[in-house]
Homo-oligomer: A and B are copies of this chain.
């Protein structure tokens, strides 16, 4: 049995969703919310397998609610449901931790399948959304992944930290200053990073960091 929570500010839409979902023997709607806050609160109490989340809602929109949910209870799997194919929604939602993104014009059977898919831990997007995501990826994702995500775990926490700063564009001296250690120590860390990841120089390390989604949390990484 898959439990679902519905979050949508439109009564009719909620009724429709309930009707569709309950038509499937293996789905049970365990709660309904009309605002983002309600959705967050109810999810915490009911612990549904899947949250069907509308984007436009008063008080806290679906994206923000998703962010809260996935931050608080990572087990929650959110399927965002919306009328519009807005890029902001799509990328915002996915970055907020949503597992899927469906347009409301999706047919009932699709929706049911989607819920099961999400509940199973997989992800899914509407076809037209997929197109956009792929385009975006192709745009600024590098060529093939360096293939060895393995090596990243060889790095010690400190080394990872240095790698992130390095990927933020900082020089060895700047990293040293920021971490309050000697530059020679930074050089040692960099040396080991390059060795472990089998990279030639810091430039390739930056690329590696980007390709693997590592990113500096910088507010620095400034122009000169």
Indicate the size class of the contact surface on chain A.
35 or more
Q: Are A91 and B145 in contact, CB atoms less than 8 angstroms apart?
A: yes
Choose one: B141, B168, B207; the contact of A169 (CB below 8 Å). Answer: B207
Quick one: CB contact mask for A50-76 with B, threshold 8 Å, 1 for yes? 000000000000000000000000000
Q: Are B204 and A223 in contact, CB atoms less than 8 angstroms apart?
A: yes
Q: Are A137 and B136 in contact, CB atoms less than 8 angstroms apart?
A: yes
Quick one: CB contact mask for A133-150 with B, threshold 8 Å, 1 for yes? 111111111111101010
Does A167 interact with chain B (Cβ within 8 Å)?
Answer: yes
Does A94 interact with chain B (Cβ within 8 Å)?
Answer: yes
With the chains together, A216 CA to B143 CA distance in Å?
A: 8
Q: Are B204 and A202 in contact, CB atoms less than 8 angstroms apart?
A: no
Does A154 interact with chain B (Cβ within 8 Å)?
Answer: no
Instruction: Please give the count of copies of this chain that the complex contains.
Output: 2
Q: A122-B127, A125-B125, A127-B117 are in contact. Are A92 and B200 (CB under 8 A)?
A: no
Choose one: B88, B133, B139; the contact of A133 (CB below 8 Å). Answer: B133
Q: Are A134 and B218 in contact, CB atoms less than 8 angstroms apart?
A: no
Q: A149-198: which have CB < 8 Å to B?
A: 149, 166-169, 171, 198
With the chains together, A100 CA to B131 CA distance in Å?
A: 9
Does A130 interact with chain B (Cβ within 8 Å)?
Answer: yes
Choose one: B88, B117, B166, B213; the contact of A136 (CB below 8 Å). Answer: B213
Q: Are A124 and B130 in contact, CB atoms less than 8 angstroms apart?
A: yes
With the chains together, A127 CA to B130 CA distance in Å?
A: 11
Name which of A88, A97, A117, A137 has the most chain B CB atoms within 10 A of its CB. A137
Does A25 interact with chain B (Cβ within 8 Å)?
Answer: no
Binding site for B on A (CB under 8 A): 87-88, 91-92, 94-95, 97, 99-100, 117, 120, 122-125, 127-128, 130-131, 133-145, 147, 149, 166-169, 171, 198-204, 206-207, 210-213, 215-219, 221, 223-224
What are 8 contact pairs spanning A and B, CB under 8 A?
A: A100-B130, A120-B127, A122-B130, A130-B130, A136-B137, A142-B216, A200-B223, A204-B221
Extra contacts besides A124-B127, A140-B211, A171-B201 (20): CB < 8 Å: A87-B144, A91-B141, A94-B134, A95-B138, A95-B141, A97-B138, A99-B131, A122-B131, A138-B213, A139-B212, A166-B203, A168-B207, A169-B200, A169-B207, A198-B223, A200-B223, A203-B203, A206-B207, A206-B210, A210-B210
